[in-house]
Amino acid sequence: MNQVAGTGTDWQALFSGDTTLVLEFGQRIDSAIVDKVKSLDALIHYAKAAGTLPGVQETIPTFRSLAVIYDPCVIHPDALLEHIRELEGRNPVTLQDTLTARHWNLPVLYGTEHGPDLESVASLTGLSIDAVIDLHVNCTFRAYMLGFLPGYAFLGDTPKPLHLPRRGEPRLRVPAGSVAIAMQLTGIYPWESPGGWHILGNCPVPMFDAQALPPALLRAGDKISFTRIDEPTFNSLKQELAESNVDRSRWLLN
């Protein structure tokens, strides 16, 4: 994927096979770049729903790029690029409903065996355990993108005092629901998997449910806050979620 297909106001388009254009906005994780990706993604979805952008099948937003998957039998890539350039000139205010982010308030049990790295994070940052938790729960995060695993949202931005590199030795098994940090990001593991981030605690609310619509709880652009809970509350929620079909909207603030 190195052949340039065209350029826009803030992006360069590259071919990725014969059915995908990747619009690259930059080379770093930055909220301003994420905003540009999200805005253009919303414009494309709006045009697709309105029937004015034929041939587009799917878009995949990331930290710094937007993949546009299209049917070459319906639209030529040059025509697609011209359509996208035209969309850039539209006022995103007209897409207010599309761009409105949901705000989730998710419970987390910090520390204990569910947060095995909490003490080491406190030691590495020179903070007390309570200070680490306070910084984390007093931050409003934003889902920059989904990836790594279905339902895994990369959340930025973790408060600067908590910025740490990945662990020197990744774990082979990180429990589902683990809330972990690395660099400027926070993540919630949707199910057990390998991982090299620092685990602060665990969220009992499932991040992915194959029977739900949509299956992933979070989507790119969502806001996320965390609330500290104690172990009895955590265990009660785990049992409730295991025994009944809980309405996930109960954790929505808006």
Say whether both 172 and 94 belong to one domain: no
Per-residue pLDDT band at 45 (split at 50, 70, 90): confident
Give the count of domains, the chain: 2
Say whether both 122 and 221 belong to one domain: yes
Q: Domain holding 37: CATH number?
A: 3.30.1360.40
Q: Give the three-state DSSP class for 242.
A: helix
How far apart are the C-alpha atoms of 36 and 45, rounded to whole Å? 14
Q: Is the pLDDT of residue 73 over 60?
A: yes
Say whether both 39 and 156 belong to one domain: no
Q: Domain holding 134: CATH number?
A: 2.40.100.10
Say whether both 136 and 63 belong to one domain: no
Query: End of a domain among 40, 69, 99?
Result: 99
Q: Is the pLDDT of residue 88 over 90?
A: no
Which comes out higher in pLDDT, residue 3 or 135?
135
* 92-103 as b/e: b if 16+ CB within 10 A: beeeeebbeebe
**If you write DSSP's letter for every residue of 160-182 in order, what string do you get?**
GGG-BPPPSS-EEEE-TTEEEEE
Give every CB contact of residue 147 below 8 A, 6+ residues apart in sequence.
62, 154
C-beta separation of 207 from 133 below 8 A: no
Query: End of a domain among 99, 121, 138?
Result: 99
Q: Are strands 65-70 and 20-24 parallel, antiparallel or unpaired?
A: antiparallel
Say whether both 86 and 73 belong to one domain: yes
Per-residue confidence (pLDDT) for residue 95, from 0 to 100: 43
Q: Is the pLDDT of residue 15 over 80?
A: yes
Per-residue confidence (pLDDT) for residue 206, from 0 to 100: 95
Per-residue confidence (pLDDT) for residue 190, from 0 to 100: 96
Say whether both 220 and 156 belong to one domain: yes
- In sequence order, which ranges of the chain are alpha helices (DSSP H)? 31-50, 77-88, 96-99, 118-125, 129-137, 231-243
Mean pLDDT within 12-34: 89
Per-residue pLDDT band at 96 (split at 50, 70, 90): very low
Q: Is the pLDDT of residue 155 over 90?
A: yes
CA dihedral 72, 77, 78, 79 (to 10 degrees): 60
Say whether both 191 and 161 belong to one domain: yes
Give Dmax over CA atoms of the chain in angstroms: 60
Q: Are strands 223-228 and 103-110 parallel, antiparallel or unpaired?
A: parallel
Say whether both 247 and 130 belong to one domain: yes
User: Mean pLDDT over all residues of the chain?
Assistant: 90
C-beta separation of 215 from 240 below 8 A: no
How far apart are the C-alpha atoms of 23 and 8, rounded to whole Å? 9
Per-residue confidence (pLDDT) for residue 243, from 0 to 100: 87
Tokens coding 39: 């805005």
Say whether both 68 and 125 belong to one domain: no
Rounded to an integer, what is the distance from CA 102 to the centroid of its chain? 12
Which residues are bridge partners to 107 per DSSP?
Answer: 227
Say whether both 195 and 147 belong to one domain: yes
Say whether both 62 and 107 belong to one domain: no
Which domain covers residue 125, as residue numbers?
Answer: 103-251
Query: End of a domain among 99, 125, 146?
Result: 99
Residue type, 215: P
Say whether both 134 and 200 belong to one domain: yes
Mean pLDDT within 15-35: 89
